[in-house]
Structure formats: structure tokens, C-alpha cells
Amino acid sequence: MTPTARANGDAHGAAGRALPAPRTPSPRDAPALSWGVIAPGRIAARFAEALLAHTAQRVVAVGSRDAARARAFADRFGIPAAYGSYAELLDDPSVDIVYIASPHSGHFDQALRAIETGRHVLLEKAFTRNAREAGQLIEAAHERGVFLMEAMWTRFLPHIDVIRQVLDSGTLGEVRTVIADHGLYAQPDAAHRLYAPELAGGALLDLGIYPLSFASMVLGPFASVTAVGTKTFTGVDGQASIVVTGESGAHGVLNTTLFARTPTTASISGTRARLEIEGHFYGPAAVRLIGRDHELIDRYVPTRRDGGLCYEAAEAARCIAAGQRESELMPLDETLRLMHVLDDIRRDLGVAFPGE
């Protein structure tokens, strides 16, 4: 077959194409909510940029422990209200939903307070420090009747919907191997959040959650998890290599590290064909379908590679408008299950955070 390259245009693809077009709705069509941003750092800035550029969502308030920092963020993005505390933001009646972008160590307290005030919550990954905290948040959200979702933005991107459709179609045959990695070089510094135990630092929660979540999406619940790793000079995990098995017996081979910049690629190999995600698998990316004889069968190319965080916000908005309290694309039971996996890996590596 002659390889083709196309972008996400028509809703369902065309007959004869080996790779389908994504079914992902336009983020701009999602019902508009009024958002409050907690912890205006780098990832929060990317989130605000994506919402302003690609959605109808409104960012109406930002909260920080530093009032000047909140004001600078508000001025940068044209946000009406800036608060010098998270409590003040949660007292603002104009806020429908909060996006929490703080270090992992702050996720539980900040999300719980938001839930208790009746706010919907989009909570950055990794969801919490551990499964105990995750379970308590999920229980609180259920009791209060609010929407709660882990901000695993990858799950909502168009190329991931292409992959889901291919997996459902059986095009790959029986999936046998998933490979994914995420590593970067972080300069050793005890004050850096990735090296700080008190901020729940380390490679696993910040980077390793991506390949683990990807493997879970493909393989389903893990039947077994085996990990080896190396700790940093501060005692957090610096590198981990993980082998998981799915209930079918398929393997996932996963790696994460703070010690080197890795390709951050991913592939899914089956008995008939394989999928390769080009470049950073966790962001907007192209996907190639490769046959058993290594021939390129088809290629999907996204129309846009920037602003990928808009898709998770749009998903939250659609779910809330529909009266749903969680997303089918990133369900809370899977978030909790992966937090248990992260706990087990950290325990095997001898890594614990203060106060656990």
C-alpha cells in the first residue's frame, strides 16, 4: 500500500485507509467554564496560553502564595482577579473549576479544599503523592458531587484517539509489546523540586507517570510490575526501569530518568503490525503504522503541535456540562490504580516522602 499522510480533518476517515482520522472534538466547541488557576508556574502558563488560543474557556482568577507573582501572571494573560492565597481564590464565586499546577506535595490539600468548596477540579499529574491521598480525594469528590480528573493531557490528544481506534480494530493483531520512555537531564540541585523529597520529587511522579499511563491505556490493568532503579543524592528516585505485564501476557518495557535526555518515544507492537509515535509520544505527535516486513503502511500527522493542554480542559468542560463527575478517557479508578503502582515501585526502590 502506498503510505499516506493526513491531518485530523474529517470525523471518521475514509474507506481503505489503514489509520483512521481522530474523532476528537474541537476544543473551541466545548462549553465555556470560568477557571481559577492555582500555582502560576511554567505549566500553568502553558495551560493558560492553550486555553486563550484554542478554546472558549475563561480564566477568571489566579491564586498564589505570592501576591506579586499572581498579579504578574494575571497581567500576562489578562485575568481579572489575582489573589495572594489559594483560599481567596476559592472564595471567589465566579470560579467554576480550578486547575491545580503546584508540586505534587501540594496537590492533596489544595484539591481537597477546592472540592470542599464545591469546585470542580482538574489536578495535574501525578495526581497526588500516593494512593492513600488519591483515594481520599476521589471519595471526597464523590460525596460532594463534583467533577475530578487527573490532568494527564496525553489521553485527550488526537493522535491518541487514532491509536485507540487502531487497537479496537485489531489492525495490529495481538499486542505483545509496549515500549515507552521519558527522561530528561536535571542538573543536580537539592533545592530543585525534582530533587526535593519534601516536594515529592523524583523521576517517577513527574516523568514516569507518562509511560506508565500510556502502557495502562494499551494493556489495561497490570498483572505484574517489576522495577529496578537508582536514587539521587537527596534520596528520591533518579531513574527507574520497569517491566509490566498485562492480563493477556503482553509486556510493557518502560523507563524514566532525571540523569539523561532520552528520546521520549513509544511504540506498540502486535503480531501483524506496530504503531510508532514520532517524537515526544506524550504531546501532539505523528503516528506511523508499520507492517511485519518493516514497510510503512500509513501515517497520521496532526494539524497542530502546539497548545495540546487545551484538549484536557475541553474534556473537563464537556463532562461537566453533561453532568458527568469523571472522564471516561481518564477514569478515576485508573488514576487510583496507577497511584498504587507508583507506590509499589517507590517501595521497591526504597523511596519515601516526608510525612508518608
DSSP state of 259: B
Distance CA 37, CA 151 (A): 13
Closest CA to 58 of 84, 34, 41: 34
Bridge partners of residue 237, in order along the sequence:
231
Closest CA to 178 of 222, 136, 142, 236: 222
CB 44 within 8 A of CB 101: yes
CB 62 within 8 A of CB 34: no
Distance CA 320, CA 214 (A): 25
Distance CA 206, CA 236 (A): 12
The CA-atom distances, in angstroms, between 287 and each of 90, 177, 310, 329 are 41, 17, 20, 19
Closest CA to 266 of 279, 250, 284: 279
In degrees, to the nearest 5, what angle opens at C-alpha 186 toward C-alphas 126 and 346?
40
The CA-atom distances, in angstroms, between 319 and each of 121, 236, 286 are 12, 36, 27
- The active-site residue out of 113, 120, 125, 251 is 125
Q: In what order do the strands lie in the sheet with 266-270?
A: 5-6, 296-300, 287-291, 273-277, 266-270, 175-183, 251-257, 237-246, 222-231
What share of residues in the chain are helix, strand, coil (percent, to 5)?
35, 25, 40
Q: Is 233 exposed, middle or buried (0-12, 13-18, 19+ CB in 10 A)?
A: exposed
Residue 20 makes CB contacts below 8 A (sequence gap 6+) with 12, 13, 162, 165, 166, 169
Catalytic (active site) residue 125: yes
**Residues belonging to the active site:** 125
